[in-house]
Amino acid sequence: MHMLMQALLGLVVGMVAKLLLPGHSPGGLIVTALLGIAGGWIGGRIGKTLGWSDGHPAGFGLSVVGAMVAFLAYRAVV
């Protein structure tokens, strides 16, 4: 159940990041979800570096920023 919730949250994070980035983002729903999950991981690492524990209110924002970084890297490769 945890993995399903993580995938759904990753999809939401990925969709928000995709909306905030200007220009065309390649990839469909699955790529968006995977990049959102990767963004959540990146945002979590940033939060831990800043000394924030899991569940910090800025966690969603950091996840979106991480997903934006993941989208930019994906665009550079594709």
pLDDT in tens, 1-30: 677 877 788 888 888 998 898 888 777 888
Own/partner pairs for 24-33, CB < 8 Å, 24+ apart? Answer: 25/71, 25/74, 25/75, 26/74, 26/75, 26/78, 27/74, 27/78, 31/74, 33/7
pLDDT reading at 65 higher than 70: yes
Question: Whole-angstrom Cα distance, residue 51 to residue 3?
Answer: 25
* Mean pLDDT of all residues belonging to the chain: 83
pTM: 0.81
The CA distances from residue 56 to 20, 51, 52, in Å, are 22, 10, 6
**pLDDT given for residue 52 in this prediction:** 75
